[in-house]
Chain A
Amino acid sequence: MNTDSIRSYLKISTNAAPLAVFRILFGLMMVISMVRFAANGWIEKLYIEPGFFFSYLGFEWVQPLGEWTYLIFFICGVSALFVSVGYKYRLSIIVFFISFTYIELMDKTTYLNHYYFISILSFLMIFLPAHAYFSVDAFRNESIRSQQVPKWSIDSIKLLLGIVYFYAGLAKLNSDWLFAAMPLQIWLPSKYSIPILGDLLQQQWTHYTFAWAGAIYDLTIPFLLLIKRTRTFAFILVVIFHVLTRVLFPIGMFPYIMIVSALIFFDAGLHNRILKYISKGFRISKSLFDNGKNYSFPKPMIHKVSVGIVALFFIVQHLVPFRYMLYPGELFWTEEGYRFSWRVMLMEKAGYANFKVVNPENGQRFYVDNTQFLTPFQEKQMSSQPDFILEYAHFLENHYRQQGIQNPEIYVDSYIALNGRQSRPFVNPDIDLTEIEPSLKHRTWLLPFNDEIKGL
């Protein structure tokens, strides 16, 4: 590939309908997600009730704002609605990105790959002209109203979706998933009461079929969606796959978001048809937007910067999932470089962490009752993830210092059962965790895994 072909690729424009439909549906899904989150009482339960929150390294300053946390969710929901209808789009999508990401950064306990996906997708959308067609902005402002948008803007969403699927597929290429059908072998039998499927889920061959089919699906679906001949079939697979995961696992809105997102792979014909239905329903004149014009960025500079940022964004996205290779040891055990890498439903990890506080001045020692500081959900997440354990140990250090112990030492007795293996000691119980600063460095304070999981 040479610079000429890149330059000419960047000049190609295409019908704007797919991008407009994507914007409308994405915004709508986010509105529903926010309403659902609030209606389930999760804002209160996850962000207001706990007395302590786990932070990402470097984002300790991002904290819930007490009762004002509701306001963040409200802002997030309203900006999602504005994105959907395309009203003050750029501002709205920036506000959405910031508020949504702020919510995710408030407590690491709630980390989910699909929240991360929403965060980076909304970041990407800041640089796309998703408001050029069939939006309030385009309705009011003739200068941005365009029937054609740069092809790269639609392709970038396809690429991001492709990355999510493909990397999730790569992550499944390991011996636990393929040759032990773990953790599906643990999860599926417990779904015995699902009609029809319930009995099938007890069979070992079902677990292997699901494991292999899942890996093949993730690795091939981006390509099957790209190729015109297989596209309809691929979309049917997308629907079956995500509906099945919805039935089997508690994964909230994610399946619907992915199904709706996959529509972007279809030709503009479908999207124009969808917009026609919407126009009819809301008595909007679609023809107003069909002006045959090409979208051009307000300034050439903005165009250049947008393309540059998007390119950089994708380079980073390709590298981040592989950062685990910089660390020795088993990824599933140490979780060094585990997050932000589309490792979805790969592990069943249960842990137990019992913290011991020692007062070196008088040798007094006692154990901590975790329920005094953490919610059951936080305790569960803390017990199985080393960075949580360390952060919590430092929290305990501060707490007991305030209680009058000058220089408390914190030790932890911890056990982890990974993918059906018998529980084994996790953190070195002889190490005073207050001596260890949270960092991205290799965690030498963990005990070895003493087993091997082969593969990527």
Chain B
Amino acid sequence: MKLPMQICRLPKTVRRLFCFHKDVPMKKIITLILTVFIVWSCTSDGPSGPDVDDFDREAILVNWADNIIIPAFTHFSETTGTLHSDAVAFSEDPTLQHLETLRESWKSAYLAFQHVSMFEMGAIMNYRDFLNTYPTTADSNSFNPEEKKTILENIETSDYNLELPSTRSTQGFPALDYMLNGLAENDDELLSFYTSDTNSENYRTYLTDLTQRIDVLANQILNNWTDSYRDEFVSNSGKGANSSLDMMVNDFIFYYETLLRKGKIGIPAGVFSGTPLSTHVEAYHSKGFSKALFNEALDATQKFFNGTHFDSNQSGESLSSYLDFLNTMKEGADLASLINNQFNDARDAAESLNENFAAQVESDNSLMLSTYNELQKNVVFMKVDMVQALGISITYSDNDGD
């Protein structure tokens, strides 16, 4: 066998180090290594297991970005645009009619938000904390353990910077909820804050500042996705803790476990405190919108899991199809169906709940707890079984392994 020249020209030192037996020359060793590799490469054409084409993981990322994430943010930014223009219209002419219109656009935007809230990647750090931190610190009676400035104090003093993290609980959709539904018991009284109150101008300004802040954030994130992040996201299809797939799955599970299961149901139901906390439901002041928000979020997470397009019932590659692919290799349980069934069970359990979760918590908390239990089961399926099947590390840490 004629050896390639480069190998023969290994540095003398290397050759000397390993060829100290005179009877084992370098050539023999190289022949050996080559044989090992030739045998290896020959067998690769040989027998193989079940016909498994390499699953195209980049297709998942493309489907997520083009058919789910970007359309969802596009829709969200449209609704926040309407929300802001309706708020401006209301502040210029605070009538009951304008208030009703504004409440409706608040609802549409809040529902649209449930479809983007799970996506932190490519967004502004912690943006969802600016949009949806609840319970909101409305007035001196509000839940306010860190003694932050309340919405009413902000309005009174006109001294606030909504870009500061400390103001998170006085802005976003929960703050609007208070401004549109919680200021007074009835609409006439509520309108008077915007018309005849001594601070009425401050109220109007605060309202439009809130909607503007939401709209600006929504557009910033959308633009970041469409301008540059989409390609970065899709091309980062490699392996490891910093790949798009791993990070997205971690974000997705975190969202499901913390913001959906715990935030929307668990905390109000008192799962973590022992006593139910009815004031901690999402959209508390609307008295009847919390269930709609929860259902929208549950649908959005299940659709993401199945790769269902944002604006149609078509599906593309996603976690469920990837699990199906891996399932054919491992003859294990049909995990994708288990998870989908569990999503449906949670939805069924939630069906009997009052439209207003606060009322539900106060009248019969056990129904909230049983919904929580159904949600909880999918945490195990996703965080334990799915993550294991996907070979994804659930911690972000980059420590050594064994």
Q: Which residues of A contact B (CB under 8 A)?
A: 40, 42, 45-46, 110, 112-114, 185-187, 189-194, 198-200, 202-205, 209, 232-233, 235-236, 240, 249-254, 267, 269-270, 273-274, 277, 344-345, 348, 350-352, 354, 357, 359, 364-369, 375-377, 379-380, 415-417, 420-423
Contacts and interface: CB of A to CB of B under 8 A. Distances in A.
B239 interface: yes
A273 B20 contact: yes
A188 to B, nearest CB: 8
B17 interface: yes
24 contacts: A40-B398, A113-B402, A189-B329, A191-B239, A192-B55, A193-B239, A202-B52, A204-B52, A205-B47, A205-B49, A209-B43, A240-B36, A251-B401, A270-B17, A350-B394, A354-B376, A368-B272, A415-B384, A417-B384, A417-B385, A420-B330, A422-B333, A423-B381, A423-B384
Contacts of B333: 422
A364 B273 CA distance: 9
B1 interface: no
B384 A186 contact: no
A236 B35 CA distance: 13
Given A204-B48, A270-B17, A277-B13, 13 more contacts: A192-B55, A193-B238, A204-B329, A209-B43, A251-B400, A252-B400, A273-B20, A344-B402, A350-B384, A354-B376, A369-B262, A379-B395, A415-B384
A365 B274 contact: yes
Contacts of A192: 54-55, 57, 239
A200 B332 contact: no
A249 B240 CA distance: 10
Interface in B371-402: 376, 379-381, 383-385, 387-392, 394-402
A273 B330 contact: no
Nearest to A344: B402
A173 to B, nearest CB: 18
B272 A190 contact: no
A210 to B, nearest CB: 12
A377 B49 contact: no
Contact of B397 (A45, A254, A270, A350): A45
B20 A270 contact: yes
Summarize B's interface: helix, strand, loop or mixed.
loop
B272 A366 contact: yes
B397 A376 contact: yes
B27 interface: no
Q: How large is the interface on B (under 10, 10 to 19, 20 to 34, 35 or more residues)?
A: 35 or more
B326 interface: yes
B182 interface: no
A416 B239 contact: no
Given A251-B400, A377-B397, A420-B330, A348 B388 contact: yes
B90 to A, nearest CB: 39
Nearest to B271: A367
B29 interface: yes
A190 B392 contact: yes
A270 B18 CA distance: 8
A140 to B, nearest CB: 30
Contacts of B387: 350
Contact of B44 (A190, A200, A359): A200
Interface in B3-18: 13, 16-18
A417 to B, nearest CB: 5
A42 B399 contact: yes
A199 B54 contact: yes
Contact of A236 (B32, B238, B274, B384): B32
A203 B271 contact: no
A274 B17 CA distance: 8
A205 B50 CA distance: 9
Contact of B54 (A113, A202, A357, A366): A202
A250 B401 contact: yes
